Amino acid sequence: MAIWQFTFYPVPRNAIERIDGVSALTIAAFKPVDLETFDENAEWPNYWEGSSPKSYADDVGALLPARQSWSSDGLMFGDDKADDIELWDDDFRVRLDIRRYNEAVARGVVMLASRADLMLVMGETGRIIAPDYGKLSREISHSRALKFAIDPVATLRQIASEHD
């Protein structure tokens, strides 16, 4: 993931409710990992059990062109350094290039998620939001990706100071 990409995951609403409860606000499995405390043997639930994000390949292909996948298990669309969507049997990842924001792609993913009863889980925080473009825009407006797009030097300095 590039610092200028805003990452989120469409996840089935019914799976979130079943696994985390109807009042869940965040999902730990989608938050960034701390490499010092990360347990590589930890088990994470499969929110896609019984279905597959790959079933949305045609819809995603209407938003971004398919590209060669580095794995036979995944379907990939767009550019991995820009707007990018990956579909796996157990994961649906969206990355938006905030340097060249493509509103049509963002709105298209939100509409797809709304039609398919998918919630949007933010990659930076694990926060769960309804598939609503206004809500997604608010999350983007508070993101590190947008801060970087606006002022790369200050953002990199902030990151460095967090790790001192």
Tell me the per-residue pLDDT of 16-53, one tens digit each, with 9 for 90 and over.
999 988 988 988 887 776 666 666 667 788 999 999 99
pLDDT in tens, 100-115: 999 999 999 999 999 9
- Residues 120 and 110: their CA atoms lie apart, in Å, by 8
As to burial, measured by CB atoms within 10 angstroms (0-12 exposed, 13-18 middle, 19+ buried), residue 102 is middle
Q: Look at residue 153 in the predicted model and tell me its pLDDT.
A: 87
The model's pTM is 0.90
pLDDT in tens, 138-159: 999 999 888 988 888 888 888 7
**Are 75 and 59 spatial neighbours (Cβ–Cβ below 8 Å)?**
no
